Structures are given as C-alpha cells and as structure tokens.
C-alpha cells in the first residue's frame, strides 16, 4: 500500500504513506516498523534470480546494488514521512548487520535496535538482501524479521498491515466474495492454512501462506497478533488505540 505493487519501475504511493504516518502519531509506546519489499524489493529480486534456487552466483551478486538501492529509497521515504509528522524514526537496514544461512537467519544482533528503542527512537527496518553463508546472498523477508524481533524483543502486539481485510477464506483475485476470517485459533488453523495461497504479484518470499505460518509460531506466547487492511483509512489508528475493527486476530 505504500508502493504500487505492480508498477515497474517501482513507485511510492505518497498519499497512502503520508496518511499512515499521520495515523502512527497516536502510538505512545516503543515501536518497530518493518517494511516488506513491495515492488521495490521483489521486482529486482525476481530479475536477479532470487526466486530460483539454481540461479548462478554472478546473477545473485549483480542483484545486490539494485535491491539495496530500491529498499534504501523506500525506507528513506518512510523515514522522511514519519519525521515530517514529528515521529523520531530512523532506518536500520538488515544488509549491514544480518547474515543468513540457506535463507534462514544466521546472525541477527539486536543491541542497536534495543538501544534505539530505549532512547525513544522509532525503528524502521525492512525486507532486504543479505549475505548468505551458503548461497552468496539471499532475501530476508519483512515477515521473517517481524517474527524474529517479536520473539527476541518480546513484543506485546504485532500488527500486520496488508491490502486485504485480514486472512481471507479464499483468493480474492479469483473469488471476489472471499471474506476475512475474524479469528484463527486451534479449531480452524489447519483449514485456514490449507486454503490460504501464495501472493499473486511478483513475490519471491511466499505471500500470505508463509506470513500466517510464521505468525502462528509466535502466537502462543500471550502476544496479540492482528492482520488488517492498511489501505483502509483509520484502521491502523483504531488498532493502535486498542479498539476493534475489521481484521483477523490470531489467538492460539
Ligand atoms: O516483501 C522481501 O520482503 P517481503 C524483501 O517482506 C525483498 O517478503 C528485498 C525482496
């Protein structure tokens, strides 16, 4: 929603971004904002072979500058918008301190993130390309970062903003009548996982199915996990004020 997902070259949706920055102003506690790749990350990742595990090393290496450039551009636009609203946000890019091994987190120190939060800063991080101990470089998705940081920093609430009303009971691109599922719990989690498909735009890291599977992993620890539609004005603001709105809550 802060990028036009299908626009090539990637383009920032300034209208949505400045609205979201205004909604974030109601938040009073520590806050980490994790950006997904959107068009900025996924197009460059796709054209440099990151969707295919057999891509040659040279092609992957060539992808590092454009992916880094695009993600830095995106993150810095978000930083600018938040700073304009008086939110003391700073970008901490994973490429400079996170390593992966076979696509999974290998080393992800959190001391600078903790110090930033303790000093009243709002941290912006984002899906990125990172060096991989086994495969030259791999893509680290924003969802993986979110799950990791929620665990490491013991987050109380995890809000996942998407462009649909929550986790849907069918693919809205093919079934326009698909409805959001208000609660995912032990009773329906297997059914939900079997119905939720991957994202249909250029997404090299798995879309909604991966999102839900990763979130289920951290929902057992008395944490509030909410997936909601960030394209609809005021839903973020309402959720940040602990009020209810249309969304999916994961409660295992
Ligand atoms: O959109 C992917 O992050 P995601 C980041 O959260 C890149 O999966 C660089 C493609």
Residue 129 CA: nearest ligand 1 atom is: 9
**143 alpha carbon to ligand 1 midpoint, in Å?**
8
* Residues linked to residue 159 through DSSP beta bridges, in sequence order: 226
Ligand 1 interacting residues, C-beta cut-off 6 A = 36-37, 41-42, 45, 67, 71, 127-129, 139, 141-143, 204-205
DSSP string, 65-76: HHHHHHHHHHHH
Question: What is the distance between the alpha carbons of residues 124 and 74, in angstroms, rounded to a whole number?
Answer: 11
pLDDT the model gives residue 218: 87
The CATH architecture that domain 157-252 belongs to is 3-Layer(aba) Sandwich (3.40)
Top pLDDT among 214 and 72 is at 72
**187 alpha carbon to ligand 1 midpoint, in Å?**
31
120 CB-near residues (< 8 Å, 6+ apart): 88
Top pLDDT among 226 and 5 is at 226
Question: What is the distance between the alpha carbons of residues 36 and 127, in angstroms, rounded to a whole number?
Answer: 5
What is the pTM for the complete model shown? 0.91
Block residue for tokens 């289920």: 216
Taking 90 as the threshold, does the pLDDT of residue 197 lie above it? no
Asked if 4 contacts 11 with a C-beta cutoff of 8 angstroms, the reply is: yes
Q: How confident is the model at residue 174 (pLDDT cuts 50, 70, 90)?
A: confident
**16 alpha carbon to ligand 1 midpoint, in Å?**
19
Determine phi and psi for 28, rounding to 5 degrees.
-115, -10
The CATH architecture that domain 1-155 belongs to is 3-Layer(aba) Sandwich (3.40)
Asked if 215 contacts 158 with a C-beta cutoff of 8 angstroms, the reply is: yes
DSSP string, 215-248: HHHHTTSS-EEEEEETTSTTHHHHHHTT---SEE
Residue 107 tokens read as 């080393």
Taking 80 as the threshold, does the pLDDT of residue 5 lie above it? no
Question: What is the distance between the alpha carbons of residues 78 and 135, in angstroms, rounded to a whole number?
Answer: 30
pLDDT tens readout for residues 137-151: 999 999 999 999 999
Pocket test of ligand 1: the residue of 34, 42, 98 to mutate, having most ligand atoms within 8 Å of its CB, is 42
Asked if 51 contacts 78 with a C-beta cutoff of 8 angstroms, the reply is: no
Domain-by-domain residue ranges, the chain? 1-155, 157-252
Identical fold between 1-155 and 157-252: yes
């Amino acid at each position: 929603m802060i990028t036009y997902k299908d626009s090539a070259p990637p383009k920032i949706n300034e209208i949505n971004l400045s609205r979201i920055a205004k909604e974030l102003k109601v938040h009073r506690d520590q806050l980490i904002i994790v950006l997904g790749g959107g068009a900025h990350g996924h197009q460059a990742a796709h054209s440099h072979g990151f969707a295919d595990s057999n891509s040659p090393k040279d092609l992957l290496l060539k992808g590092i500058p454009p992916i880094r450039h695009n993600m830095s551009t995106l993150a810095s636009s978000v930083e600018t918008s938040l700073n304009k609203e008086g939110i003391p946000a700073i970008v901490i890019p994973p490429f400079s301190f996170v390593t992966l091994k076979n696509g999974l987190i290998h080393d992800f120190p959190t001391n600078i993130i903790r110090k930033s939060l303790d000093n009243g800063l709002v941290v912006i991080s984002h899906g990125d390309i990172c060096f991989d101990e086994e495969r030259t470089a791999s893509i680290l998705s924003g969802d993986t970062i979110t799950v990791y940081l929620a665990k490491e920093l013991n987050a109380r609430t995890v809000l996942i903003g998407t462009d649909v009303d929550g986790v849907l009971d069918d693919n809205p691109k093919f079934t326009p009548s698909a409805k959001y599922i208000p609660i995912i719990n032990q009773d329906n989690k297997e059914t939900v996982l079997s119905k939720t498909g991957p994202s249909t735009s250029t997404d090299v890291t798995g879309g909604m199915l991966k999102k839900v599977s990763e979130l289920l992993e951290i929902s057992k620890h008395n944490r509030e996990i909410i997936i909601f539609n960030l394209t609809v004005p005021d839903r973020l603001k309402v959720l940040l004020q602990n009020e209810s709105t249309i969304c999916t809550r994961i409660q295992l």
